[in-house]
């Protein structure tokens, strides 16, 4: 299974009205299909993995609204091939979890193409107005399909989680927020949480490389910054969240293939902390 196209979408720089998760994810989905030269009817399954949403929206499934925004299978007469969409919630690891689902769907012939969308937007509609909110308003999309080269595409997806308490969480404090709860959320991180996430990620990468015989000297790792790196690698407001793997992949492509590098390794770290790893070899590498 290979990435056919990848895009990201951010709120318009000059806009003061903020954005919505559906609008950003829908724009990323449309741009993804346009770059691939495909119509919306080419998508058989859409998986949406965003976490933070304007007005703390949880129902109905946002995937159905993103599907509508992207124009996928809206007319049974014009587009007789049906499309299926659903939300998959797994925090910052959502994109790679969707890749694992996509591998099964494509391997069994359930669909020819799968579109993954990831979008996070401040519950108040604009992360730029809240300096205490850690995440960026950002969307990303991957269009996936079976590759022609058996040596290319994603390898196995593996999940890693240590025993112990959760070091970070986002929740609605309804007792304190009252009528403002639709536009607020509490994000709590314990001291040292970043260092624990980094340590778990390093252990997971080593375990993955050992299990699947990866030479890390020839592997480009695409993952979160080190605990002491801050947000220097991201020019936006806040840090990327669920769309981070898409952004990292695009930056890796823009930078060009490093010398003696023959594959990528995606590493996503969730708040649990949990880590998900998946190797990837682009077509033509």
Superfamily of domain 155-281: Thiolase/Chalcone synthase (3.40.47.10)
Fold match, 2-148 / 155-281:
yes
Structure tokens at 216: 């890390």
Class of domain 2-148: alpha beta
How far apart are the C-alpha atoms of 133 and 184, rounded to whole Å? 10
Ranges of each domain in the chain: 2-148, 155-281
How far apart are the C-alpha atoms of 245 and 8, rounded to whole Å? 10
Tell me how far CA of residue 47 lies from CA of 63, 99, 100, 143, 153, in angstroms.
7, 9, 11, 10, 19
Q: Are 27 and 59 in contact (CB under 8 A)?
A: no
Q: What is the pLDDT along the chain (285 residues), one digit of tens a residue?
A: 999 999 999 988 655 556 899 999 999 999 999 999 999 999 999 999 988 888 777 778 899 999 999 999 887 777 767 889 999 999 899 999 999 999 999 999 889 999 999 999 988 878 888 888 888 999 999 999 998 888 899 999 999 987 766 666 777 777 777 666 777 777 777 777 778 888 889 999 999 999 999 999 999 999 876 544 444 344 556 889 999 999 999 999 998 888 889 899 999 998 778 899 999 999 877
């Amino acid at each position: 299974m290979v990435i056919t196209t990848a895009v990201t979408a951010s709120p318009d720089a000059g806009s003061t009205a903020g954005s919505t998760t559906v609008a950003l994810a829908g724009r990323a989905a449309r741009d993804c299909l346009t770059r691939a030269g495909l119509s919306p009817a080419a998508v058989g399954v859409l998986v949406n993995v965003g976490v933070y949403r304007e007005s703390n929206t949880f129902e109905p499934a946002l995937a159905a609204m993103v599907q509508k925004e992207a124009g996928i299978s809206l007319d049974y007469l014009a587009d007789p091939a049906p499309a299926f969409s659903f939300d998959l919630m797994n925090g910052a690891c959502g994109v790679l979890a969707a890749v694992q689902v996509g591998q099964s769907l494509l391997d069994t012939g359930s669909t020819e193409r799968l579109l993954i969308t990831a979008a996070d937007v401040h519950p108040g509609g604009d992360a730029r107005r809240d300096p205490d909110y850690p995440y960026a308003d950002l969307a990303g999309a991957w269009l996936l399909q079976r590759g022609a080269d058996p040596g290319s595409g994603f390898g196995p997806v593996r999940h890693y989680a240590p025993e112990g308490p959760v070091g970070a969480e986002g929740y609605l404090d309804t007792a304190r927020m009252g009528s403002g709860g639709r536009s607020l959320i509490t994000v709590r991180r314990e001291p040292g949480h970043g260092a624990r996430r980094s340590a778990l990620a390093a252990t997971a990468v080593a375990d993955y490389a050992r299990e699947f015989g990866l030479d890390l000297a020839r592997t480009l790792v695409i993952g979160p910054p080190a605990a002491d790196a801050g947000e220097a690698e991201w020019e936006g407001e806040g840090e990327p969240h669920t769309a981070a793997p898409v952004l990292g992949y695009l930056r890796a492509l823009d930078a060009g293939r490093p010398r003696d590098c023959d594959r990528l390794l995606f590493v996503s770290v969730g708040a649990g902390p949990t880590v998900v790893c998946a190797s990837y070899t682009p077509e033509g590498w």
